[in-house]
Amino acid sequence: MERISAQIKEVLLQLSNKNKDFFITQQLCSAKTYEEIQMILQWQGTLTPHHTSNIHLDEKDGHTWIDVCYLWFNDEESSVILQCELTKEGQLYVIGLEA
């Protein structure tokens, strides 16, 4: 069982705080493995995590963008990227979701 990185945990925490309408709750912040995240999301009937460990940096428009977590909806057709920005202070800020 793969452990969740601190970066991803921080993103989940910020997402649950900033996007109340996205069905992600504080439960995710206590998850310790990707399997637990998957169970929580499936239980809520919203999303299934996919490639959650793929983190890559993308420099554009003078900002550092981090696509931290790839998610798809239950129909498995709508892929969604959780998009975050890494500030100069090293803080991850959840910008939004990108289809």
* CB 97, CB 21: distance < 8 Å: no
Residue 77, domain member (yes or no): yes
Residue 1, domain member (yes or no): no
Residue 57, domain member (yes or no): yes
Q: What is the pLDDT of residues 25-77, one digit of tens each?
A: 445 556 666 566 656 555 544 444 443 333 344 455 554 444 444 343 333 44
Cα–Cα distance measured from residue 84 to residue 14, given in angstroms and rounded to the nearest whole number = 10
How confident is the model at residue 32, as a pLDDT? 64
Over residues 67-91, the mean pLDDT reads: 43
Q: Is residue 92 pLDDT above 50, yes or no? A: no
Residue 36, domain member (yes or no): yes
Number of domains the chain is built from: 1
Residue 21, domain member (yes or no): yes
Q: Which residue has the higher pLDDT, 90 or 53?
A: 90
Q: What residue type is assigned to position 45 of the chain?
A: G
Domain hosting 17: range is: 6-98
Residue 22, domain member (yes or no): yes
Q: Is residue 6 pLDDT above 60, yes or no? A: yes
Cα–Cα distance measured from residue 58 to residue 39, given in angstroms and rounded to the nearest whole number = 30
What are the backbone angles phi and psi of residue 43, rounded to the nearest 5°? -65, -35
